[in-house]
Amino acid sequence: QAIYRKDYQQPDFFIDSVDLHFSLDEDVTLVHSRMTIRPRTENQKKPLILNGELLVLKSLKFNGHVLNATQYHVDKTHLTLPNVPAEAFELESIVEIKPQENTALTGLYQSSGNYCTQCEAEGFRRITYFLDRPDVMARYTTTIVADKSRYPVLLSNGNRVEYGELNDGRHWVKWADPFPKPSYLFALVAGNLYCHGGKFTTRSGREVRLEIWVEPQNHDQCEHALQSLQKAMRWDEERFGLEYDLDIYMIVAVGDFNMGAMENKGLNVFNAKFVLCRPDTATDDDYEGIEAVIAHEYFHNWTGNRVTCRDWFQLTLKEGLTVFRDQQFTEDMTSAAVKRIQDVRILRSAQFAEDQSPMAHPIRPESYIEMNNFYTVTVYNKGAEVIRLYQTLLGKDGFRRGMDLYFQRHDGQAVTCDDFRAAMADANQVDLTQFERWYDQAGTPVVEASGVYDATAKTYALTLRQQVPEHLQAWHIPVAVGLLGKEGQDLSLQLEETAPAKTTQVLELRELEQTFTFKNISELPIPSLLRHFSAPIKLNFSCQRQELAFLMAHDSDPFNRWEAGQQFAQQVIFDLLADWQAGKTLQLDALFSEAVLKILQDDKLDGSIKSLMLTLPTENFLGQQQAEVAVDGLFAVRQFVLKQLAEVHYAEWLAIYRANHQMPYSNSATAIACRRLKNTALHYICRLDTPETVNLAEKQFKQSDNMTDQQSALMCLVNTFSEERGQAIEYFYQQWRHNPLVLDKWFSVQATSYLPDTFDNVKALLQHQDFTLKNPNRARSLIAVFSQNQAQFHRADGLAYQLHADIVLQLNATNPQIASRFVSVFNHWRRFDANRQALMQAQLNRIIQHPNLSKDVYEVVSKSLNVK
């Protein structure tokens, strides 16, 4: 049942316009559609095959004439008309649907009693019969009829063109979207919502009304979302010359949503988590997440909507590009270095892991069973890295030229990743043929680097060698390089006589092996490789601890400064692990401890970077570097290092805490940096678990006026064996039980605890009155979060696996998309020891034998077990 990229064919029919009419009702909702359809070629004799799922067809008319049951065929997934004329015609249908029973949250469904839609990728077919594919673009008009008191607000794409009242208590609104669009961008919202309004004037003078729609009780949590939208609109004009194209832009926050948000034309639907915030309910990371997701969906208006995807294999065309755009936006709005480090952390922990799993796929997949399974970190985040490569190779201006040409050529079209690459190549007159391999080949490239310094010739020769698996070909990899002198200064680098000298050179590795020679290097340099993480690869370069400590203290590239610290920590942890496994007493490396102290005492370092530098690599990331994940050893050793650092530098941690905790709350970068640093310090301090440290955390927990500090302190307390632990958990619950997004945090914090009773607590929390699998955020807050808690989830007794599989099977019946996300943790089963492998495999076998397995879960589990 798999679909292949190579099988793509143009549609046999196009739909030019569609007029929709919804009558929303608690019992059955009626959807009336009238479409103008046209065969793609003259004289073709193809049947018309429309997609449709869970629809009850009530009537079908062809050019105004009622069709009888012999003239068409309906099955579970399609409506087929075997004989249609070779010219344009009109098809009219009425179907019944039941949004109130829709638990999968795709198509038209209800959230807190309001109606909303999610059509990407293939949800529109659950609303009406249609050619539900992105290369069929139609003009939409939408009329919504509903009870006026329960559903005072009726929204759809485009402009509101007409409205009125019926004499039975219902009212109606008609919307018209002037831009042709694929069905996945359709949206409808109806309900009792509050509007937080604003405006934006585009640089060519268009007055745009901005509307953030939320449930009335959330009226005071919208301003940051509005401001984020305004910033994004301005930034896209300045950076890419892209302006908004309608007179209204609406964002609706809903409590039940499978993903982050959706870029429907003129009417974004958002997971409330990425809209609502207030200092006392949302953390600094939440604020940043909101700004980024609002920008992401806004940026889709050009990269996704104006220019869309020809087919779903091209998903990264819009997602990789739009993630890259939102990353650049955040780099500009906050700090480029901090944002880069955060993005690389996500890439390495989640995407590199996906590359190591049976679900590994190129950013442009070759096949899928269920498209929703391919909204992955590979398509999104590695896809964004691949877009970044163009910019690294072509420069910001060259990249912009490519973007301009892309829009010039393809505005209003449904296109492919090859079209994008061609625009980049043509606008810059470069050959990007080899570059296609980034789209074709799965897996993380590995590059070995080695350097030779010739003191007499004053040259430094750097050899880069890519390890290319047998069935693959060499990638085109930009490697940004700097060389540091004895004082930590950047040396001036010259590659050819004529080329300008720079402190960072971007080397283009295209062959299996290449050597780059720098001239006039008058001292033995310390190389700083892959600066700013210039490509999504693993770079191996053997570095002495002294050198890592040196880079950690001096590298002018903040990303690599952080990276050196991470590599240093990793070396230290793996050495300790060997000792732990040999039953030796552990002792912390003095040079590492000293390097950490230098960071602690560095007054010039930005607080956010500092806090990142003081954070050890995660167990998950460390496990990925091993042939077999040493679950218990990694946990024990990492805990040991944290505790040692806490004890040895106790005075410094305390000093940092005191120096930063008086800062009054604000949303500025400086204040955020202070909170990050302070809370990192608090976490170390609390490792000691003494009455004084517990007291410090408790004071912060009770006295803070913002969620960043309160949540941090709660997290510290949850990891102690104190009496205050239980009290804080109860206090937080009472304080926030009526705010779902904050209550999610309450579940999550408990699921992240590293104490040995975490599994039992999670089991108990599943029975909590406020826990439900029906709400994706709530389910994720406990289940997904716990499944990432490596040492606790991967208990040797397998009890957590069994519980997890039970939940996957429950969700399989109600919300297959979420079930499939959750089951994916088992993808990594082969990377564990024999005992854990057997336990996970047993659960996978249990799942795959389940009757009525959804396509979503089947695809992941069958790939995981390698069944054909």
Q: Is 252 in the site for ligand ARG (CB under 6 A)?
A: no
89-97, strands of its sheet edge to edge: 65-66, 56-62, 89-97, 29-39, 13-23, 138-147, 170-181, 159-165
Residue 375: CB minimum distance to ligand ARG, A: 4
**Residue 188: Cβ-neighbour burial (10 angstroms; 0-12, 13-18, 19+):** buried
Toward Zn ion, which CB reaches closer, 183 or 712? 183
808 contact, one of ligand ARG, Zn ion, none, CB 5-8 Å limit per kind? none
Toward ligand ARG, which CB reaches closer, 120 or 555? 120
Q: What residues contact 625, with CB distance under 8 A and at least 6 apart?
A: 570, 574
Question: Cα 260 vs. chain centroid, distance in angstroms?
Answer: 8
CA atoms within 13 A on the CB side of 795: 19
Question: Cα 75 vs. chain centroid, distance in angstroms?
Answer: 36
Buried b (16+ CB within 10 A) or exposed e, 435-467: bebbbebbebbebebebebeeeeeebebebbbe
Selected range binding ligand ARG among 215-223, 237-245, 261-269, 513-521, rule: CB under 6 A: 261-269
Toward ligand ARG, which CB reaches closer, 236 or 263? 263
Selected range binding ligand ARG among 140-148, 188-196, 255-263, 769-777, rule: CB under 6 A: 255-263
- Binding ligand ARG (rule: CB under 6 A), the pick from 35, 60, 127, 262 is 262
Q: Is 121 in the site for ligand ARG (CB under 6 A)?
A: yes
The token pair that represents 698 in the structure block: 């408790």
* Cα torsion through 292, 297, 299, 305, rounded to 10: 170
Tokens 């806090």 — which residue? 611
Toward ligand ARG, which CB reaches closer, 264 or 711? 264
Q: Is 859 in the site for ligand ARG (CB under 6 A)?
A: no
Alpha-carbon distance 738 to 746, whole Å? 12
Q: Tell me the torsion sign for CA atoms 469, 473, 478, 483.
A: positive
Q: What residues contact 666, with CB distance under 8 A and at least 6 apart?
A: none
Query: What CA–CA distances, in Å, run from 599 to 334, 619, 773?
Result: 21, 22, 43
Q: Is 183 in the site for ligand ARG (CB under 6 A)?
A: no
Toward ligand ARG, which CB reaches closer, 89 or 270? 270
Query: What CA–CA distances, in Å, run from 478 to 392, 447, 509?
Result: 7, 11, 6
261 contact, one of ligand ARG, Zn ion, none, CB 5-8 Å limit per kind? ligand ARG
Residue 762: CB minimum distance to Zn ion, A: 31
Residue 744-783 contact track with ligand ARG, rule CB under 6 A, x = bound: ----------------------------------------
Q: Does residue 136 contact residue 125 with C-beta atoms inside 8 Å?
A: no
Q: What residues contact 726, with CB distance under 8 A and at least 6 apart?
A: none
Q: Is 263 in the site for ligand ARG (CB under 6 A)?
A: yes
Q: What is the DSSP string of 43-55?
A: T--PPEEEE-SS-
Is residue 297 part of the annotated active site? The answer reads yes
Alpha-carbon distance 530 to 567, whole Å? 14
Q: Please tell me the count of residues contacting Zn ion according to CB under 5 A.
A: 2
Q: Does residue 494 contact residue 520 with C-beta atoms inside 8 Å?
A: yes
Toward Zn ion, which CB reaches closer, 351 or 608? 351
Toward ligand ARG, which CB reaches closer, 383 or 451? 383
Residue 609: CB minimum distance to ligand ARG, A: 28
Alpha-carbon distance 443 to 353, whole Å? 10
Alpha-carbon distance 372 to 19, whole Å? 27
**Residue 68: Cβ-neighbour burial (10 angstroms; 0-12, 13-18, 19+):** exposed
Q: What is the DSSP string of 311-333?
A: SGGGHHHHHHHHHHHHHHHHHHH
Longest dimension (CA), the chain: 95
Residue 852: CB minimum distance to ligand ARG, A: 21
CA atoms within 13 A on the CB side of 845: 6
Q: What is the DSSP string of 55-123?
A: -EEEEEEETTEEPPGGG-EE-SSEEEES---SS-EEEEEEEEE-GGG--S--EEEEETTEEEEE-TTTT
Query: End-to-end distance of the chain based on CA atoms, in angstroms?
Result: 11
Q: Is 259 in the site for ligand ARG (CB under 6 A)?
A: yes
Residue 316: CB minimum distance to Zn ion, A: 10
The DSSP call for residue 673 is H
Strand pairing report for 188-191 and 538-540: unpaired
Toward Zn ion, which CB reaches closer, 319 or 589? 319
Tokens 């070779």 — which residue? 86
Q: Does residue 33 contact residue 21 with C-beta atoms inside 8 Å?
A: yes
Could you give the residue ranges of the DSSP H alpha helices within 411-531?
417-428, 437-440
Toward ligand ARG, which CB reaches closer, 119 or 146? 119
Q: Is 624 in the site for ligand ARG (CB under 6 A)?
A: no
Site for Zn ion in 189-228 (CB under 5 A): none
753 dihedral zone (left: phi>0; alpha: psi -120 to 50; beta): beta
- Range 848-851 contact pairs with CB under 8 angstroms and sequence separation of 24 or more: 850/809, 850/812
619 contact, one of ligand ARG, Zn ion, none, CB 5-8 Å limit per kind? none
Q: Is 372 in the site for ligand ARG (CB under 6 A)?
A: yes
Number of residue whose CB is nearest ligand ARG: 375
Selected range binding ligand ARG among 260-268, 511-519, 535-543, 584-592, rule: CB under 6 A: 260-268
- Choose the catalytic residue: 291, 297, 319, 619: 297
120 contact, one of ligand ARG, Zn ion, none, CB 5-8 Å limit per kind? ligand ARG
Q: Is 580 in the site for ligand ARG (CB under 6 A)?
A: no
Residue 123: CB minimum distance to ligand ARG, A: 7
372 contact, one of ligand ARG, Zn ion, none, CB 5-8 Å limit per kind? ligand ARG
Selected range binding ligand ARG among 253-261, 643-651, 781-789, 836-844, rule: CB under 6 A: 253-261
Q: Is 375 in the site for ligand ARG (CB under 6 A)?
A: yes
Toward Zn ion, which CB reaches closer, 319 or 490? 319
121 contact, one of Zn ion, ligand ARG, none, CB 5-8 Å limit per kind? ligand ARG
Q: Is 557 in the site for ligand ARG (CB under 6 A)?
A: no
Toward ligand ARG, which CB reaches closer, 120 or 132? 120
Residue 299-328 contact track with ligand ARG, rule CB under 6 A, x = bound: --------------------x---------
712 contact, one of Zn ion, ligand ARG, none, CB 5-8 Å limit per kind? none
Q: Is 258 in the site for ligand ARG (CB under 6 A)?
A: yes
Site for Zn ion in 311-330 (CB under 5 A): 319, 322
Residue 278-297 contact track with ligand ARG, rule CB under 6 A, x = bound: ------------------xx
419 contact, one of Zn ion, ligand ARG, none, CB 5-8 Å limit per kind? none
Toward ligand ARG, which CB reaches closer, 286 or 319? 319
Toward Zn ion, which CB reaches closer, 354 or 724? 354
Q: Please tell me the count of residues contacting ligand ARG according to CB under 6 A.
A: 12
Residue 334: CB minimum distance to Zn ion, A: 20
Which segments of 338-489 are extended strands (E)?
Answer: 367-368, 414-415, 446-454, 459-467, 477-484
Q: Is 815 in the site for ligand ARG (CB under 6 A)?
A: no
Q: Is 696 in the site for ligand ARG (CB under 6 A)?
A: no
- Binding ligand ARG (rule: CB under 6 A), the pick from 261, 294, 548, 844 is 261
Selected range binding ligand ARG among 36-44, 72-80, 258-266, 277-285, rule: CB under 6 A: 258-266
> Annotated active-site positions, please?
297
Question: Which residues form the interface with Zn ion (CB under 5 A)?
Answer: 319, 322
Question: Which residues form the interface with ligand ARG (CB under 6 A)?
Answer: 120-121, 258-259, 261-263, 296-297, 319, 372, 375
